[in-house]
Amino acid sequence: MSDNQRLQNLYIARLTSQERPCFVCSKFTNVVLTLADNSNADWFYTCKSHLGDFNFCSKVGGTKTKSPELKKEVLVNRPVESDSVSDLVSSIGTAWKSWRGKDEKKPEDADKKEEKEEKKEEKAEKEQADLKKQDTPSPPAISSPVSPQLPVRFILQKDYFYLRQREYMKKLQSKQASEKLKTLQFPEVPKNKPIYTTPPTK
């Protein structure tokens, strides 16, 4: 395989309108990994969950994810959950009581009227404040040049990349074979009938 036909292990994730089976787990997905050089020499569908899996690929650029060590520290510092049934029942009971308590408490009509009047007054004050803001001219916003953000790139693990290379090589070989068949010239078919001669008899 020549250098210009060699795959580079750098991919970009893109969304498509069609769903196809994932390269890894065969579930239907609309995420496609394509080569980062936009050559479309190699592309395949993969699930979003695989993009975060360190055993499948690793991210290059973009936001950095938490390291596994930090995740372990968070898990260690987390309070221990109780497995007892009594704790579960008591938590459900308190939630049930608080929910039922809301239904039993009904505010009086007088309180409702006072709240409505207060809300009307607050609305009127807000409208006046909004009118004052509209009257004062605001300074023009200074637009800062936004640097184009590079897309997150992915590097496949060596086993998966080997599978992609092997599939790419098969495509290349079949393409080369079909091109050779087109240019290959076989000898012409004879157009005259063959002449049979009988051997002399002794």
Residues 110-120: tens digit of each pLDDT: 566 677 777 77
Answer yes or no: is pLDDT of 11 > 80: yes
Close Cβ partners of 155 (under 8 Å, ≥ 6 residues apart): 9, 10, 11, 57, 58, 60
Answer yes or no: is pLDDT of 154 > 80: yes
Q: What does the pLDDT read at residue 22?
A: 92
Answer yes or no: is pLDDT of 93 > 80: no
Residues 21-50: tens digit of each pLDDT: 999 999 999 999 998 888 888 889 999 999
Answer yes or no: is pLDDT of 143 > 80: no
Coil, helix or strand for 33? strand
Distance CA(91)–CA(198), nearest Å, equals: 109
The pTM for the full model equals 0.47
- Which residue has better confidence, 194 or 50? 50
Close Cβ partners of 27 (under 8 Å, ≥ 6 residues apart): 21, 47
The dihedral sign for the CA sequence 51, 52, 54, 60: positive
Q: What does the pLDDT read at residue 1?
A: 47
